[in-house]
Structure 1
Amino acid sequence: MSFTWTPHRFAGGALALDVANSVILRFDPARSLDRFAVPDQLAAFAPAAMQFCAERALFERLDPVQPETLGGFMDLREAVDRHFRCGAAGTGSAEEKRETLADMLEASAAMLRAATSETAIEAATAHSALRLLAEVPQQRLKICGHCGWLFLDRSKNRSRNWCDMAVCGNRVKASRHYRRQLQQVAQGEQEQ
């Protein structure tokens, strides 16, 4: 399957969330797809993040994941997803929340120790996750109502429902319009 990193793929609003969102349809085992499972896509992620990521101004450059840190990078991705998804969904007990936080902090620290340079995407992702913890109110973290990706809601009244209005928002609205049209046709047939 042909794939390119586009601005929509960086709709999370923070590098750590964009990394977590690299798994498409995470909770649909039949259709789930890990973009980082393809080496070319993983290698292309860092240059694309420099172009499209909301935090790109914070990084002079980003070097691709190094083979020796790939396992830790994937652990960090999963820990970031678990922690921020638990917070955004408002689920989990206090103990589960502490556990996901501890896992994310541990994975972040491991990546900071293992990163070969400050420009390594592993280190930048760990910094991004820690910045989210320190600077972003939990109410700003959301889960897209269409694709399930994590994103920061920077709207004034925190009313955003989709990671990207141009993609997910339009798909939801088109689906609603289609269902309304079907209902109108069905009602018209019943009246005849």
Structure 2
Amino acid sequence: MVFEHVANAWCLELANSVPDRHDADRDWLTDAETAGAWADSLGFALADPLADAERTALIDLRETIFAVFAAHVAATSVDPRALRELTSEHARGLERHGYIADGGAFRRDWPSVWDGPALRAAFASSAVELMTDPRLDRVKQCPGCGWLFVDTSKNRSRRWCSMEMCGGRDKALRHYRRQRAEARG
């Protein structure tokens, strides 16, 4: 299975683990095998398949992260409960995976093999970092599929999750409509 990763932030990759936010029939986290392959595609090698409770907790975190950043993009108020949930998950992650000294610098003490709580800690930490990062004003939502992404283009002009997915489809649809309008006269 091929997973698209276009968000430029771990937390938004989790939010995008539903292939189409407008048609949520598919979900990369609903079964252990697909969830494991999805996590592996992001570089998170799981020690064991995620249990049902771990996947449910990850899905809950995904929806919290999506709610926070989608509200930010839409310039609407963010649900304070979502921020509390995200903060709590981040704090649990800091308790388990704090910081270590590494060659004159400091870094998070992430595991080499991941489990459900470590995954949630990584995604919650990514969300907290993005919420306080200057790149926050570059977070956008694709009008085609609803995915969230950090626009890293120089002129901040990125509109879609990717040209291969929604951008090409949108351009083809506009071309078709133009051709039809010209044919009508």
For residues 28 and 120 of structure 2, the distance between their equivalents in structure 1, rounded to whole angstroms, comes to 16
Change (3 A) 1:130 1:136: same
Change (3 A) 1:66 1:39: closer
Alignment-mate amino acid for residue 42 of structure 2: A
Q: Which residue of 1 aligns with 2:102?
A: none
Structure 1 residue 164, shift from structure 2 partner? 0.8
For residues 27 and 102 of structure 1, the distance between their equivalents in structure 2, rounded to whole angstroms, comes to 26
The number of residues matched between the two structures is 166
Q: Does 1:90 align with 2:75?
A: yes
Change (3 A) 1:37 1:102: same
Change (3 A) 1:77 1:37: same
Aligned residue among 122, 125, 140 for 2:123: 125
Aligned residue among 63, 75, 81 for 2:46: 63
SS of 1:12 mapped into structure 2: coil
Alignment-mate amino acid for residue 178 of structure 1: Y
Structure 1 residue 178, shift from structure 2 partner? 0.8
For residues 57 and 140 of structure 2, the distance between their equivalents in structure 1, rounded to whole angstroms, comes to 25
SS of 1:10 mapped into structure 2: coil
Q: What's the CA shift string for 1:13-50, capped at 9, x where partnerless?
A: 1111111111133244xx53222113211010122112
Q: Which residue of 2 aligns with 1:12?
A: 7
Q: Give percent identity, aligned residues only.
A: 34
Please, which runs of 5 or more residues in structure 2 have no aligned partner?
98-108
Structure 1 residue 113, shift from structure 2 partner? 5.3
* Contact kept? 2:30, 2:55, Cα under 8 Å: no
Change (3 A) 1:127 1:106: same
Q: Which residue of 1 aligns with 2:58?
A: 73
Q: Which residue of 2 aligns with 1:36?
A: 29
Alignment-mate amino acid for residue 2 of structure 2: W
Please, which runs of 5 or more residues in structure 1 have no aligned partner?
51-60, 188-192
Q: TM-score, normalised by structure 2?
A: 0.77
SS of 1:151 mapped into structure 2: strand
* Contact kept? 1:83, 1:100, Cα under 8 Å: yes
Alignment-mate amino acid for residue 46 of structure 2: D
Q: What's the CA shift string for 1:83-116, capped at 9, x where partnerless?
A: 0111111123xxx44443223222333455578x
Q: Does 1:45 align with 2:28?
A: no
